[in-house]
Amino acid sequence: MTTATAQAHPNIALIKYWGKSDEAMSLPATGSLSLTLDIFPTTTTVEVDEALTADVFELNGTVRDDDAARRVSTFLDLVRAQAGTTAHARVTSTNTVPTGAGLASSASGFAALAVAASAAYGLDLDEAGLSRLARRGSGSASRSIIPNVALWTEGDDATSYAREVPAPTIAMVVVTLDAGVKHVSSRVAMRRTIETSPFFPAWVTSTRTSLDEMVAACAAGDFTRIGELTEANALRMHATMQGAEPAIRYLSPASIALFDRVVALRAEGIDAYATADAGPNVAVICPPADAERVAAALRETTDALPGVNASVLVAGPGPGAHLVDRAGGAA
């Protein structure tokens, strides 16, 4: 029996991944770029046990027998195929990010699982290999393997993985508006967008251009350009999916109020820019020195909205997924 424990953090994309070119291999239609956060870690232990007749998946103290458990098992099949074994495993995971609320819980989840499972099954993978493996669990998980700012490139199975790129220190104020499970999973929503949104081809073209510009702006430390590209790309992603049939609309009135407040903050001279993933939550990037002021403004906005229960947290750049324990000893 071999055991390994790993920890990973969520990431929020500044240039988004929305749409696959190959579903089976989880290859993206375009590259994307994200900030790995230092909040909401997922810690996962994988215990390979020859005596088990099936995999067991426990999340936050509850044994799961649902789609989440099947996704974990399907992922372990990939690891087992590479390791040349059929042994099952017990996977115990603690997730501090609100699961399924569009805060990329699948990113930290599959990044932690990739690192823990590959160690427990004895695979010797480098960072690129771990990112490729995590990608198969959930596309955005490829980026949570990487610390700070990660660029996940498009390509084939061998070349589509994330790596760290130079960037200034970015703070992110995360506003959680709804910790509940979202109505349409990003996987299903992406598929519907590709099949029915007439805006999808323009999304692909504009995202490729924005990604090149973003990598250059990060290398140059041009915070204002990083912010402008971030907000434009997020709104374009939401516009693209709102063009699907039936439309996919994740942003709520409270999300829009927060985007408006960020525009007002810029008018006051603060370099703040908003983004949002597959849910109503809003994340705002700004220079670290302005983060508390931005957080206070966003709290004021959500406090004034009737019936809205928000939490506002300041995050900074976080570590890549890493082993915290292996076979009972230090990694």
Residue 48 vs 251, nearer CB to ligand DP6 = 251
Subset of residues 82 to 121 that bind ligand DP6, contact rule: CB under 6 A: 104, 106
Minimum CB separation from ligand DP6 for residue 191, in Å? 9
- The residue count for binding ligand DP6 (CB under 6 A) is 15
Q: At what angle do helices 105-120 and 67-83 cross, to 10 degrees?
A: 30
Residue 186 vs 252, nearer CB to ligand DP6 = 186
> Rounded CA gap, 120 and 227, in Å?
40
> Rounded CA gap, 156 and 165, in Å?
20
Minimum CB separation from ligand DP6 for residue 194, in Å? 12
251 binds ligand DP6 per the rule CB under 6 A: no
> Rounded CA gap, 219 and 241, in Å?
30
Residue 27 vs 272, nearer CB to ligand DP6 = 27
Minimum CB separation from ligand DP6 for residue 150, in Å? 10
Subset of residues 128 to 147 that bind ligand DP6, contact rule: CB under 6 A: 138-140
Minimum CB separation from ligand DP6 for residue 125, in Å? 19
> Rounded CA gap, 28 and 20, in Å?
4
Residue 5 vs 230, nearer CB to ligand DP6 = 230
Binding residue for ligand DP6, selected from 154, 228, 231, 277, defined by CB under 6 A: 277
Residue 67 vs 268, nearer CB to ligand DP6 = 67
Minimum CB separation from ligand DP6 for residue 26, in Å? 6
> Rounded CA gap, 257 and 56, in Å?
42
For the chain, strand residue ranges (E) read 2-8, 11-15, 20-22, 27-28, 32-36, 42-48, 56-59, 62-64, 89-95, 149-152, 162-164, 171-176, 273-275, 282-286, 311-315, 322-326
Residue 7 vs 193, nearer CB to ligand DP6 = 193
> Rounded CA gap, 165 and 167, in Å?
6
Residue 48 vs 145, nearer CB to ligand DP6 = 145
Beta strand pairing status for 27-28 and 162-164? unpaired
Minimum CB separation from ligand DP6 for residue 113, in Å? 13
> Rounded CA gap, 36 and 150, in Å?
7
What backbone torsions phi and psi does residue 292 show, to the nearest 5 degrees? -70, -35
Residue 92 vs 186, nearer CB to ligand DP6 = 186
Subset of residues 21 to 60 that bind ligand DP6, contact rule: CB under 6 A: 26, 32
DSSP helix/strand/coil, 81: helix
> Rounded CA gap, 329 and 221, in Å?
40
Stretches 16-24, 197-205, 207-215, 319-327: which one binds ligand DP6 (CB under 6 A)? Answer: 16-24
In eight-state DSSP terms, residue 289 is: G
Subset of residues 165 to 194 that bind ligand DP6, contact rule: CB under 6 A: 186-187
Residue 46 vs 103, nearer CB to ligand DP6 = 103
> Rounded CA gap, 223 and 286, in Å?
8
Stretches 9-17, 85-93, 169-177, 201-209: which one binds ligand DP6 (CB under 6 A)? Answer: 9-17
Residues that bind ligand DP6 (CB under 6 A): 13, 16-18, 26, 32, 104, 106, 138-140, 186-187, 277-278
